[in-house]
Structure 1
Amino acid sequence: MSEVEVAPGEIIAEAGRSATRMFQVAEGYVRLVGLHEDGSEALITIFVAGNCFAETAVVSRRPYNHTSIAMVKSRVRVLHENDFWDLYHSHSAIPEALCRKFAAIISRQFTAREMRATTRLRVQIANMFADFAEKCAGDLTSSPIALDFPFTQSDIASIFDVTRQSVQREVTYFKEQQLVEKRDGAWTVLDLDRLRRMT
């Protein structure tokens, strides 16, 4: 894999383009977005260091479904499709690992749907903040934990397919309970243990 640096806001792979490469985040954060009918972006997920993406499009030989964008200055590893297929056919562990990954993704999608149908929005958002904190923190025993990538209440609403007003109500509760805060556009988790107990 070659490695490239990408600037905040830079597009890595664009929806509709031929899937000629797959990627891995080496450092930083990458957002995967889709488009609403009105042209606005919908946040689908956030990739952190170690996450691979776009291999599904390469395997299925179809264009990229979604657009990936660097959230902060990041380093991304790139593997061209020809090299991917050489490795795929040379090492049986690769298709086996991909099958496990795709199965895990499907399972998570079902779990997420069930959670949205059966769990209060407050608990879902608490779980999201706790997950983000654990991915950002080097030491989970220290507090507070700064989330070093930007996301908005509108992004949260996109993730859970709810209105921004619903998210604002829950975030206000978290702030009042001194669980999270936002300073200078950046989120901070103030009490990870209490957030986890909510979930």
Structure 2
Amino acid sequence: MQRIITHENWIGDLPAPVRDAVLARTVEVIVEPGEVIAEAGRDANRIFQVVEGYVRLVGLHEDGSEALITIYVAGNCYAETAMVSRRPYNHTSVAMVRSRIRILHERDFWDLYYSHAAIPEALCRKFADAISRQLAAREMRATTRLRQQIANMFADFAERCAGSPAGGPIELDFPFTQSDIASIFDVTRQSVQREITFFKDHGLVEKRGGFWVVINLQQLRRTG
């Protein structure tokens, strides 16, 4: 299925000495909910790694509204594509909850890149994997019913973000809206509302205090 949440931790996968050299050059910052980390159109002079929390990557529709593209979780590294291609950031990243972020500045990135062959190799693998995921997501949208796509998204969120306890509700610990879901799957909000109503009526998903709760993960996986 399309992975809305990504776990691309190429830094963590580096050989230990190289990984330690990279981490030694990073700085950590705390960002508050709604705080912009990197803005589309700005020079790509830093790359980022989420240490704790959730970060949303967003683009803009022609009418100026935001479109959710993906969600970064702990371990995820991002913004390397803009850095390597020496172009501005394509999208804006925003903290969804209070988050801790590692930052690697441009000069340090290139120094490490040219000093350790494992880094460009790791980035090549990441970029190739990203292309494969994009092709798989396009095929999925063309061949899978919207209900199943949304059901899989909620189940994926529950398993990856909140663990998967044996039975019982799972509260997703980051906020997102029906408009976000519509933008992810490139459909109308009314289409999403219809599917959400189905999930609620069947006791699969509900919203409590602004956060989504997956009521029955196993049944949700079978939906669609």
TM-score normalised according to structure 1 size: 0.97
Matched residues, percent identical?
Answer: 77
* Contact map agreement 1:136 1:146 (CA 8 A) in 2: no
1:124 aligns to 2:149 (yes or no): yes
Q: Could you tell me which of 39, 47, 63 is aligned with 1:22? A: 47
Pick which of 42-51 and 157-166 moved more: 42-51
Report the Cα offset of residue 158 of structure 1. 0.2
Equivalent pair of 1:48/1:135 in contact (CA under 8 Å): no
Partner of 2:205: 180
Aligned residue in 1 for 2:37:
12
Aligned with 1:55 (options 70, 74, 80): 80
| CA distance in 2: counterparts of 1:93 and 1:130, whole angstroms | 34
Distance 2:167 2:203 in 1: 16
Secondary structure of 1:187 counterpart: strand
- 1:114 corresponds to which of 98, 123, 139: 139
Runs of 4+ in 1 over 4 A off after TM superposition: none
Runs of 5+ in structure 1 lacking a partner? none
2:56 corresponds to 1:31: yes
Shift of 1:198: 3.1
Partner letter of residue 165 of structure 1? Q
- Could you report, residue by residue, the CA deviation over 1:93-129 in whole angstroms, capped at 9, with x for unpaired residues? 1111111111111111111111111100000001110
Unaligned stretches of 5+ residues in structure 2: 1-25
2:89 maps to 1:75: no
Aligned residues: 199
In structure 2, what is the Cα distance between the partners aligned to 1:143 and 1:195?
Answer: 13
CA RMSD in angstroms, aligned pairs only:
1.1
